[in-house]
């Protein structure tokens, strides 16, 4: 079963990390990600740009309204996500715990993926 692992954290905290602090977290995460990739458990991993780069389309109005910023203002922001292939929720939780040990603070929301369609992007170099 496919699961999304949504990564939340206080954006002001993460954006305040020095390059060295950020690189250290990314290195620790890379160790876990590499293990998951070798096991065939790891799908796309996405790190979102700050909410200051977000644009929201409110479609409940006619015409739809375009706003600067994220959909909702919260203490913790959605900073990225993983797509994982796990046998069950317990395996997804184990993976979240491993990633959490490498990445201080914040929280993970684990949610099954009901509909999945592989996109047409190549796996390497998307968005670069």
pLDDT of residue 30: 96
Q: What percent of the chain has pLDDT over 70?
A: 93
Q: Please choose, from the candidates 1, 13, 4, the residue with its C-alpha nearest in 3D space to the C-alpha of residue 103.
A: 13
pLDDT in tens, 15-44: 999 999 999 999 999 999 999 999 999 999
Let me know: does 85 contact 43? Beta carbons within 8 Å: yes
How sure is the predictor about 87, in pLDDT bands with cuts at 50, 70 and 90?
Answer: very high
Among the ranges given (12-16, 43-47, 66-70), the one the predictor scored with the smallest mean pLDDT: 66-70
pLDDT of residue 122: 60
Look at the block and give the residue holding tokens 């991993």.
Answer: 45
């Amino acid at each position: 079963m496919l699961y999304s692992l949504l990564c939340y954290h206080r954006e002001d905290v993460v954006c305040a990390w020095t390059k060295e602090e950020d690189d250290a977290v990314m290195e620790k995460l890379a160790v876990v990600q590499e293990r998951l990739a070798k096991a065939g458990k790891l799908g796309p991993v996405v790190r979102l740009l700050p909410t200051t780069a977000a644009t929201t389309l409110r479609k409940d109005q006619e015409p739809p309204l375009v706003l600067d910023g994220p959909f909702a203002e919260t203490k913790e922001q959605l900073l990225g996500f993983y797509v994982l292939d796990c046998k069950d929720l317990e395996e997804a939780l184990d993976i979240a715990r491993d990633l959490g040990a490498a990445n201080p603070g914040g929280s993970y929301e684990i949610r099954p993926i009901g509909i999945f369609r592989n996109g047409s992007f190549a796996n390497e170099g998307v968005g670069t």
